[in-house]
Amino acid sequence: MTSVGLQECLLVGAVLFVAGILCMVTKRNAIGILMGSELVLNGANVNFVAFAYFHDLFNIEGQIFALFTIVMAAAEAAIALAIVLNFYNNHVTVDVDAAEDLKG
Amino acid sequence: MDFDAWPVIRAVVASLLLVTLAAGSAIIFIWMERKVAGRIQDRLGPTRVGGKFGWLQTIADGIKLIAKEDIIPAHADQLLFRISPYIAFVGVLLSFLVLPFGREIVGLPMNIAAFFMLSVLSTEVFGIILAGYGSGSKWSLFGGMREAAQMVSYEVPRALCVVIPVIAAGTLDLQLIAQQQAGFFWNWLIFHDPFQFLTFWVFFTVATAGCKRAPFDLAEAESELVAGFHTEYSGFRWCLFFMAEYGAMFAASALAVTLFLGGWHTGLFPADFMPGDFQTPLGILASILSVIVLIAKSWILVFVMMWIRWTLPRLRIDQVMMMCLKYLVPISCALLLLASLLPLTWNTLRLPGLRFRNPPAVPALPARQQNPAQETGHYTAALGPSFREHQPDLTGGEPHELR
Amino acid sequence: MSFADFLFWIVALWTGLSAVMVVVTQNIVRAALWLLFTLAGTAGLFFLLGADFVGAVQLLVYVGGILILLVFGVMLTAQGPFVNLRAGAGEWAVSIVVGLLLLGLLVSAFLMTDWRFLPAQPPDPAHSRYVNDLGLALLGSRDATPPGTLPGAPGPEPAERSRVAYLLPFEIVSVHLLVVLIGAAYLARARRRRGART
């Protein structure tokens, strides 16, 4: 039985990333798309922390990048929700298919 | 296959003990709440069940609750309704994991224990918001929204108030913080400097509000909202919410005790009076005593919360939010600023009287070489030469008093 | 298989399954519940990988902050009690094919990479002092990042890695966060609703 290594962690990260992409693609609710982007960022974070753990040289870098990503995700969620609320105010729906005002 | 059974056994035993502690203290708190309420309202409280003081009342209540039918409303979202009590309870229970009950008596030793406790206590609110939404009832939804708004707002001053004693202690490890407060009670962090003293009261107020206790229990205001987010709950799931609430009270009180009130130390004996290791019979006795002392101190704080509940009238929801955002947040910010400026000025000007701990030396691990940054990092160099004058000793050897 | 490996597989399965459930679930609040499980599982992975501080930040910011915000957003924008917005079957089929291709690409990328430069043994999971190193690095101490030669770098002689500090990025992120919060508050301020009502 092999012990858990870097590749297993990267696999988890890849699964999270792909699930996030799928979530962003298939959801029509704007908040669902936001959830997908959180999943994508989490997949990246898992990779960062895994690299940090498995190579001593990058321990600080990996964790600090993960921290910055989390902060960015918080900022992104706040802004995106504000946009969604505005969108709802104007269109009375959160269906992103309704966002076609700029279509030529 | 080299499966090491020892960590598994240790983990299982520790988690069973912690669940027992959470459930057991909930049982005692409910009885206590009834007695305190009764006495404050000039009644006797429970007297019949189980002898003179009605001390079996909670057991009777518990049997009644478990025997009740588990009702799920037709309009509820089944999954959310079923799962949210567990989320709330797990969030509270996880915070017990890093709580030090004595020297080396801790579920999971972690060097960011205080921060971990804050973060898992903040996950309880998600169970509540899901319960409010999943019940499919307007009372529950309003209660859940109020509750979430209140708890999320009060997290900010709570985190700020935890940082202040952490500055004085120089570590996030609750075990080290408690060990620093060994000896007589003037070694406790609450008596460290005036700002810590003020912080304790702010923290206790905020913790009371964070546990949604009266006078901040707007979410469960029965005169307006039936029972808030748990209106639709009955039986065992309701019981879990109740245990989560009392567990949160215990966790917040124990955090306050560990940060400000000396942790497991009685405050009546000089430091090193009792060894608290597992080598000698005296050490084992001291360990048992330390567990009892910590639990007793936390119970006293929980008693104060109950006392406040039955003494003060309930605030309005806008008053609750205003108190947090307009008063408690600025006060805790100012306290944080002053408490972090105090050691800097005191140590740079070499004033007499107060003695402050330095940022702790990091214990060397065998796996990695000792980093020279720990000795002459830019951080400490920037704070002036005298900042590192007193050699750090995290185990409470250094005098630590206000003369 | 050691206990830590066992735990890793449990948490990894839990995280992956919850992430898939986020995609599959149509009800948006249930998706938030599965997202909670995913995020908690990721925090668990961080704890297992020795990044205690990052795990706790993940719990505090994601579960205590972002998720609550998302659920509030759902409640503020829901027309009915339980919202359902579905994608069509064709869109599902295409996206699943693309997703599987993407997963295959990622997996083959890390399977084909030569990982031999990694140390044979991962470091001791009980590296508690890394939190202090994190703090020092964020405060601008270059000494917190360990010296060494870059593994896998091209060129004849091993390249010395540059030792960096993170004070400036830290400050930039802080100011950025402040700006974002003010901007979000400005965007989401209460206004009279206008436009089409359906």
Section B304-329 average pLDDT: 86
- Look at C69 and A77 and tell me if their CB atoms are within 8 Å: yes
How many CB atoms are closer than 10 A to CB B118?
A: 22
- B52-84: string of b/e by CB count within 10 Å (b at 16+)? eebeebbeebbeeeeeeeeebbeebbebbbebb
Q: How far apart are CA C126 and CA B9, in angstroms?
A: 19
Range ranked top by mean pLDDT from B113-122, B130-139, B278-287, B382-391: B113-122
pLDDT at residue B356 in the model: 58
Residues 6+ apart with CB under 8 A from C148: A56, A57, C160, C161
Contact between B327 and B153 (Cβ < 8 Å): no
Q: Would you give the DSSP letter of residue C157?
A: S
Among A18, A20, A53, select the one facing C49 at the smallest CB separation: A53
Among B1, B120, B372, select the one facing C143 at the smallest CB separation: B372
Question: If you search the block for the tokens 């436009």, which residue do you land on?
Answer: C195
**Angstrom distances, CA of residue C188 to CA of A72, A89, B154, C39, C194:** 19, 10, 22, 26, 14
* Residues of chain A found within 8 Å of residue C105, distances taken between Cβ atoms: none
Q: How far apart are CA A70 and CA A72, in angstroms?
A: 5
Distance (Å) from the C-alpha of residue B108 to the closest C-alpha of chain C? 12
- Look at B377 and C143 and tell me if their CB atoms are within 8 Å: yes
Q: How far apart are CA B217 and CA B220, in angstroms?
A: 6
- Look at A92 and C197 and tell me if their CB atoms are within 8 Å: yes
| Structure confidence by residue, pLDDT tens digits, B110-129 | 888 899 999 998 888 888 88
Q: What is the mean pLDDT of chain C?
A: 80
Among A28, A46, A54, select the one facing C45 at the smallest CB separation: A46
Section B79-102 average pLDDT: 88
Chains that touch B (3 or more CB pairs under 8 A): C
* Residues of chain A found within 8 Å of residue C5, distances taken between Cβ atoms: 1, 3-4
Residue C126 pLDDT class (50, 70, 90 cuts): low
Of B122, B89, B334, B85, residue with least CA distance to B207: B122
- Look at C49 and A52 and tell me if their CB atoms are within 8 Å: yes
* Residues of chain C found within 8 Å of residue A84, distances taken between Cβ atoms: 73, 77
Residue A46, pLDDT > 90, answer: yes
* Residues of chain C found within 8 Å of residue B112, distances taken between Cβ atoms: 52-53, 56, 131
First to last CA, chain A: 59
Mutate to test the interface with C, among B121, B137, B368, B394 (most CBs of C within 10 A): B368
Residue C98, pLDDT > 80, answer: yes
Question: If you search the block for the tokens 């091209």, which residue do you land on?
Answer: C154
Residue B38, pLDDT > 90, answer: no
Contact between B371 and C144 (Cβ < 8 Å): yes
B260 touches chain C (CB under 8 A): no
| Structure confidence by residue, pLDDT tens digits, B173-216 | 888 888 888 777 777 888 878 888 899 999 999 988 888 777 77
**Overall residue count recorded for chain C in this entry:** 198
Q: How far apart are CA B93 and CA B326, in angstroms?
A: 31
Residue C158, pLDDT > 80, answer: no
Of C191, C53, C127, residue with least CA distance to B369: C127
Mutate to test the interface with C, among B8, B116, B153 (most CBs of C within 10 A): B116
Distance (Å) from the C-alpha of residue A100 to the closest C-alpha of chain C? 14
When comparing pLDDT for B34 and B380, which is higher? Answer: B34
- Look at A19 and C20 and tell me if their CB atoms are within 8 Å: yes
HEC per residue, C36-101: HHHHHHHHHHHHHCCCHHHHHHHHHHHHHHHHHHHHHHHHHHCCCCCCECCCCHHHHHHHHHHHHH
HEC per residue, chain B: CCCCHHHHHHHHHHHHHHHHHHHHHHHHHHHHHHHHHHHHCCCCCCCCCCCCCCCCHHHHHHHHHHHCCCCCCCCCCHHHHHHHHHHHHHHHHHHHHHCEEECCEECCCCCCHHHHHHHHHCCHHHHHHHHHHHCCCHHHHHHHHHHHHHHHHHHHHHHHHHHHHHHHHCCCCHHHHHHHCCCCHHHCHHHCCHHHHHHHHHHHHHHHHHCCCCCCCHHHCHHHHCCHHHCCCCHHHHHHHHHHHHHHHHHHHHHHHHHHCCCCCCCCCCCCCCCCCCCCHHHHHHHHHHHHHHHHHHHHHHHHHHHHHHHCCCCCHHHHHHHHHHHHHHHHHHHHHHHHHHHHHHHHHCCCCCCCCCCCCCCCCCCCCCCCHHHHCHHHHHCCHHHHCCCCCCCCCCCCCCC
Instruction: Give the start-to-end residue ranges of the domains of chain B.
Output: 72-349
* Residues of chain B found within 8 Å of residue C1, distances taken between Cβ atoms: 1, 3
**Angle subtended by helix axes B78-95 and B5-40, to nearest 10:** 100
Distance (Å) from the C-alpha of residue C53 to the closest C-alpha of chain B? 7
Residue B401, pLDDT > 50, answer: no
**Overall residue count recorded for chain B in this entry:** 403
**Angle subtended by helix axes B5-40 and B235-260, to nearest 10:** 90
Percent of chain A with pLDDT over 70: 96
Q: What is the mean pLDDT of chain B?
A: 78
Chain B's closest residue to C71, CA to CA, is B129
| Structure confidence by residue, pLDDT tens digits, C128-149 | 456 777 887 888 777 777 777 7
Cα Rg of chain A (Å, integer): 17
Chain B's closest residue to C55, CA to CA, is B116
Residues 6+ apart with CB under 8 A from B183: B265, B267, B269, B270, B271, B396
Residue B287, pLDDT > 90, answer: no
pLDDT at residue A15 in the model: 92
Residues 6+ apart with CB under 8 A from B273: none
When comparing pLDDT for B316 and C14, which is higher? Answer: C14
Which B positions 153-182 lie with beta carbon below 8 A of chain C?
155, 172
Residue C39 pLDDT class (50, 70, 90 cuts): very high
pLDDT at residue C122 in the model: 60
- Look at C77 and A32 and tell me if their CB atoms are within 8 Å: no
Mutate to test the interface with A, among C106, C192, C194 (most CBs of A within 10 A): C106
Among A22, A31, A62, select the one facing C99 at the smallest CB separation: A22
Q: How far apart are CA B27 and CA B252, in angstroms?
A: 17
Mutate to test the interface with C, among B1, B129, B375 (most CBs of C within 10 A): B129
* Residues of chain B found within 8 Å of residue C75, distances taken between Cβ atoms: 133, 141, 145
- Look at A49 and C144 and tell me if their CB atoms are within 8 Å: no
Distance (Å) from the C-alpha of residue C98 to the closest C-alpha of chain B? 30
Distance (Å) from the C-alpha of residue A94 to the closest C-alpha of chain C? 7
Q: How far apart are CA C110 and CA C105, in angstroms?
A: 9
- Look at C60 and B368 and tell me if their CB atoms are within 8 Å: no
Phi, psi of B105 (to 5 degrees): -105, 90
pLDDT at residue B152 in the model: 85
Distance (Å) from the C-alpha of residue B115 to the closest C-alpha of chain C? 7
* Residues of chain A found within 8 Å of residue C144, distances taken between Cβ atoms: 60
Domains in chain A, please, with CATH?
Answer: 8-92 (1.10.287.3510)
At B335, list the tokens.
Answer: 């306290």
* Residues of chain C found within 8 Å of residue B8, distances taken between Cβ atoms: 3
Contact between C85 and A4 (Cβ < 8 Å): no
First to last CA, chain C: 59
First to last CA, chain B: 61
Q: CA torsion B69→B74→B80→B82, rounded to 10°?
A: 10
Residue type, B197: F
Mutate to test the interface with C, among B110, B142, B145 (most CBs of C within 10 A): B110
